Amino acid sequence: MAPPAHRSGSNKRAQLGLFAGYVIAGTGALIGAALLMISLWRPETFQGLRSMASDLTAPAGQAGAAGRVESRSIFEAIAGYYDAGSRNAELEREIAVARVRLAEAEALEQENERLKAVLELASGDAETVTTARLIGSTSSSTRRFAYLSAGSAEGVKVGMPVTSPMGLVGRVLETGASSSRVLLLTDQESMVPVRRASDDVIAFAEGRADGSLRLRLINLGINPLEEGDVFVTSGAGGLFRPGIAVAVVTEITEDGGIAQLLSNPAATDIVIVEPIWQERVLQAMQEPVLADPSAD
Amino acid sequence: MERLNPQSRRDAYGSKINRDHSPVLVYGVPWLSILLGSMTPLLPIIAPAPVVPPFALMIMLAWRVLRPGLLPLWAGFPLGLFDDLFSGQPFGSAILLFSLTLIALELIDLRFPWRVFWQDWLTSALIIAIYLVAAALLSGTPVGLLHASVILPQLLLSIALFPIFTRMVALLDRLRLLRVRRLG
């Protein structure tokens, strides 16, 4: 029960104070609305403020992240106690399938090397800018961002892909000095060009805010997808190198499918920041086509 | 007097003789607890979907329910500004929504001065629902039916957790009013 807090009554001064409170609060709301419109129009406007805040608080987050190595996420850990038996059976089944897949993958790898040798392509592993921890995510907003414990001091730049051993996690959106913000694949603004691992069915993987991805096929027609198809990055666009695992199809829709992430960020502790695959191409694409020669 | 009842010169917050509330605690604890609530994105929960309740808003509501005059009417601006730094929402959305929340609560307070807890719970549940929907609308992403299935579990969790938050805030209130300042 809340007691009547402040009844102004006939006290003019108290009434004025109350009125001033409403005016100040209303002004605050209006400023908020104005800032909101600015940041919806130009999302990068307040980047400096945000990076400064996350730089300052990153050490605390990092300490917490170190404790997350074993656990997946709170809810999964709790749920794990309830369905341990059925999950065990499920896992065994999955391992059986995975062994077969592994054999297939080895065969593919051999074939791949043979073909690469034919084409005289340098194989070489992916380069690494830095390794870092995911220290947190915007877990109550419908936007899906994560915070990374490395920033421009470690060479992280905007646009760099963030991967884990399981697959693609997202890409760097904003960088601070010692922390940066990652746009996760499941954010609705995220769109990754992908192809089916087994052949060249190409699609776009768009984030859905609920933790899955929507695959939209580029070539419309008969939907060739099947449940269990694995999608990897295609390399189109030049941002992500080709061949990073992204998602596995769990549901077929009219124009594509719904896919689950392979690299669940909740289970990801250490991530790798990779360089932008084709930086020059990207830069060339961003420059205006008809550049003014006198501008140089 | 002390011989009859040793607690006679004490209350729940400590000795009443030579001791007083500390202004740092009295005004600091509510603000600090709400600011800490804003920093939940730094908790090591990497969620693929929004599942965690909006802590800062809920702690603010709980303080408002417990101590109606404690937070000034304009508190939505600084609290929202801090929340926007971490929440991932476009900058300004929490400033707007927190300010509107406090103004709305003030108006409700004027209209219904005497309330019981379940009325406060109902009001807070409505405000949390409006906040989550508005935050999704203002998030700068296309809004579809999908959002409903994403927000609903979060909303139910938030509403169910609200009484617990008011209890925790009541505990913090006892800390806030501890008589720790020595007079004279």
Q: Tell if the CB–CB gap between A28 and B41 is shorter than 8 Å.
A: no
Instruction: Search chain B and give the residue with CA nearest A188.
Output: B141
Residue A191 lies in a domain: yes
> pLDDT tens digits for B113-150?
888 889 999 999 999 999 999 988 888 777 776 677 78
Q: Is B87 in a helix, a strand, or coil?
A: helix
Any A CB within 8 A of B153 CB: no
Beta bridge partners of residue A270, listed in sequence order: A133
Which residues in chain B are contacts of A211 at CB distance < 8 A? 47-49
Residue A10 lies in a domain: no
Residue A196 lies in a domain: yes
> pLDDT tens digits for A49-78?
888 888 888 777 777 666 655 445 555 656
CA A55/CA A50 separation, integer angstroms: 8
Any A CB within 8 A of B129 CB: no
Least trusted range by pLDDT, from A63-77, A213-227, B45-59, B165-179: A63-77
Helix/strand/coil (H, E, C) string of chain A?
Answer: CCCCCCCCCCCHHHHHHHHHHHHHHHHHHHHHHHHHHHHHHCCCCCHHHHHHHHHHHHHHHHHHHHCCCCCCCHHHHHHHHHCHHHHHHHHHHHHHHHHHHHHHHHHHHHHHHHHHHHHCCCCCCCCCCEEEEEEEECCCCCCCEEEECCCHHHCCCCCCEEEECCEEEEEEEEECCCCEEEEECCCCCCEEEEEECCCCCEEEEEECCCCEEEEEECCCCCCCCCCCCEEEECCCCCCCCCCCEEEEEEEEECCEEEEEECCCHHHCCEEEECCCCCHHHHHHHHCCCCCCHHHC
Give A188→chain B minimum CA distance, Å.
Answer: 6
What was the pLDDT predicted at A295? 45
Give A141→chain B minimum CA distance, Å.
Answer: 6
Give A121→chain B minimum CA distance, Å.
Answer: 37
DSSP B139: T
Which residue, among A45, A140, A182, would best test binding to B if mutated, counting the most B CBs under 10 Å from its CB?
A: A140
Q: What is the CATH number of the domain that holds A269?
A: 2.40.10.340
Split at pLDDT 50, 70, 90, the class of B55 is very high
Nearest CB to A146: which of B46, B50, B114? B46
Give chain A's mean pLDDT. Answer: 79
Tokens for B36, please give them.
């800490």
Residue A272 lies in a domain: yes
Give A178→chain B minimum CA distance, Å.
Answer: 14
Q: Tell if the CB–CB gap between B93 and A29 is shorter than 8 Å.
A: no
Nearest CB to A211: which of B45, B49, B99? B49
Phi and psi, residue B71, nearest 5°: -85, 130
Q: Tell if the CB–CB gap between B141 and A26 is shorter than 8 Å.
A: no
Q: Tell if the CB–CB gap between A43 and B140 is shorter than 8 Å.
A: yes
CA A259/CA A230 separation, integer angstroms: 9
Q: Tell if the CB–CB gap between B47 and A73 is shorter than 8 Å.
A: yes
Domain span at residue A197 reads 130-278
More confident residue, B10 or A87: B10
Phi and psi, residue B107, nearest 5°: -65, -40
Q: Tell if the CB–CB gap between B92 and A35 is shorter than 8 Å.
A: yes
Instruction: Search chain A and give the residue with CA nearest B74.
Output: A25
DSSP B154: H
Residue A96 lies in a domain: no
> pLDDT tens digits for A189-203?
888 999 888 887 889
Instruction: Search chain B and give the residue with CA nearest A214.
Output: B146
Nearest CB to A136: which of B43, B72, B154? B43
Nearest CB to A134: which of B46, B69, B106? B46
Segments in chain B forming alpha helices (H) = 23-38, 55-66, 76-87, 93-111, 117-137, 146-176
Q: Tell if the CB–CB gap between B92 and A32 is shorter than 8 Å.
A: yes
Residue A32 lies in a domain: no
> pLDDT tens digits for A126-157?
678 888 888 888 888 888 888 888 888 888 98
Any A CB within 8 A of B24 CB: no
pTM, 2 dp: 0.79
Any A CB within 8 A of B119 CB: no
Phi and psi, residue A117, nearest 5°: -65, -40
DSSP B115: -
> pLDDT tens digits for A7-59?
556 778 777 888 888 899 999 999 999 999 888 888 777 888 888 888 888 77
DSSP B140: S
Contacts of A133 (CB under 8 A, 6+ apart): A62, A65, A66, A148, A149, A269, A270, A271
Residue A233 lies in a domain: yes
Which residue, among B35, B36, B39, B42, would best test binding to A if mutated, counting the most A CBs under 10 Å from its CB?
A: B42
> pLDDT tens digits for A168-188?
889 998 888 888 999 988 888
Split at pLDDT 50, 70, 90, the class of B63 is very high
- Cβ distance A192 to A185 under 8 Å? yes
Give A134→chain B minimum CA distance, Å.
Answer: 8
Which residues in chain B are contacts of A49 at CB distance < 8 A? 85, 91
Instruction: Find the helix or strand (DSSP H, E) in which B19 lies.
Output: strand B19-21
Which residues in chain B are contacts of A140 at CB distance < 8 A? 40-41, 50-55, 87, 154
Contacts of A175 (CB under 8 A, 6+ apart): A51, A151, A152, A156, A157, A158, A181
DSSP B12: T
Q: Tell if the CB–CB gap between B146 and A210 is shorter than 8 Å.
A: yes
Split at pLDDT 50, 70, 90, the class of B80 is very high
Q: What is the number of domains present in chain A?
A: 1
Nearest CB to A29: which of B46, B50, B76? B76
What was the pLDDT predicted at B56? 94
- Distance (Å) of CA A54 to CA A67, A180, B84: 19, 8, 12
Give B139→chain A minimum CA distance, Å.
Answer: 7
Residue A74 lies in a domain: no
